[in-house]
Structure 1
Amino acid sequence: MLQNREYDLSFEEFWEFSVRLYAKPNVATACLDAQNNFNADVNILLLTAWLRCKNLSITQEGWGKLIETSTDWQNNILKPIRTRRMEAKGTQFYEALKVEELNLEKQAQRELIKSISGNLISAENQQIFAQNINTYFDIIELNCSETQASLKQYLLS
């Protein structure tokens, strides 16, 4: 039975999961491809994989709040620092900007977790990831089946 309720989600646990998953072969490349070519939020891609492990799916209302939070963080905080970092490549400022960007990504994950609080449902494990990731693909209009398949494969690893 699907039931919408409050779940205790640790953003530190989500961060640690993300770091481990992102370090696996091909995950970073697939995520960055989706980010660069389809404007995907890598943290949402990682969140869908983490929620699968927790047998949780995001409600329709939760998706609205999640996308609103993501858009705000991406447009106002993460994209500007990412642009500054890329422009600083090869300079003495690059590494410091990279550390700053990573710290901001961690803060963004905290905000994403807050945004879906109270907007999760429990479901069967095999259904969860497909439901979450397909919803996100629809939202960002990621219609490339090859990219979708790669992301699903690597995020499930």
Structure 2
Amino acid sequence: MSQHARLPLTLDQLWQFSLQYYSAREIKEACLHLQNHFHGNVNLLLMLKWLDEAKLTFAPQDWSKITQSLGNIESLLRDYRELRRKLKVHVSDSLYKETLHFELQLEKQQQTALVNCINSLTLTDCEHPHLVEQYCLQLGAERLVRIFIQPVSSQSHNL
């Protein structure tokens, strides 16, 4: 059964959810580990977690559309992160904070592309969604699944 009653997902909903979810130390560390050791996309993981929490899923064939929506921003983000890390020891704290702020703007652009993609798909109700688990398994990050599948407190976001 198609479920669009709680959608379209907005960038603001995903961004606020992401900020709250990512603020937990264990989640942040696991996200960075996923990114740095498994070449995972944290924005994609955050969106999948939002969908899991909303008990929504998409058809298996839609994975390729979603990963394609990451597009050019993904390589730009990767290159920018690498440059920012190299600059860290060579620039002032204020300039480094500006580089972090710019990176957040790129992250938001990527989330915009993900939101647009998700809103173009047919989503269905799913009592036990497992998109985050599927993504971790695709990346070979099985041991991170236990961290990401923990339910988010209902007070921490509005679906």
Shorter-chain TM-score above 0.5: yes
Q: Which runs of 4+ in 1 moved over 6 A?
A: none
Which residue of structure 2 aligns with residue 134 of structure 1?
133
- CA drift of 1:111 comes to 0.5
Counterparts of 1:49-64 in structure 2, within 5 Å, are: 49-64=49-64
- Which consecutive unaligned segments of at least 5 residues does structure 1 have? none
Q: TM-score, normalised by structure 1?
A: 0.83
Trace 1:23-34 onto structure 2 (pairs within 5 A). 23-34=23-34
Determine the C-alpha separation between the residues in 2 that align with 1:20 and 1:56.
20
Equivalent position of 2:47 in the other structure: 47
| Number of positions where the alignment pairs a residue of Structure 1 with one of Structure 2 | 149
CA distance in 1, matches of 2:54, 2:69: 22
Relative to structure 1, is the Cα distance of residues 13 and 28 closer, same or farther in structure 2, using a 3 angstrom cutoff?
Answer: same
| Residues 82-124 of structure 1, C-alpha deviations (whole Å, 9 max, x = no match) | 1111011131232111110011101110111112223142223
* Distance in 1 of aligned mates of 2:146 and 2:12: 28
SS of 2:68 mapped into structure 1: helix
User: Given the superposition, is the C-alpha separation of residues 51 and 111 from structure 1 closer, same or farther in structure 2, using an over 3 Å criterion?
Assistant: same
TM-score (norm 2): 0.82
Q: Report if aligned partners of 2:9, 2:115 keep a CA contact under 8 Å in 1.
A: yes
Contact map agreement 1:58 1:121 (CA 8 A) in 2: yes
Q: Take 2:52 and 2:108, find their aligned partners in 1: how far apart are those partners?
A: 20
Structure-2 separation of matches of 1:52 and 1:134: 10
CA RMSD in angstroms comes to 2.1
CA distance in 1, matches of 2:79, 2:4: 35
Provide structure 2 residue ranges, at least 5 long, that are not aligned to the other structure.
Answer: 154-159
Q: Conserved in 2, the CA contact under 8 Å of 1:4 and 1:119? A: no
- SS of equivalent residue, structure 2 residue 12: helix
1:79 and 2:81 correspond: no
Deviation at 1:138, TM superposition (A): 4.1
Query: Deviations 1:115-136 (Å, cap 9, x if unpaired)?
Result: 22231422234x12x1x12332
Which residue of 2 is the match for residue 114 of structure 1? 116
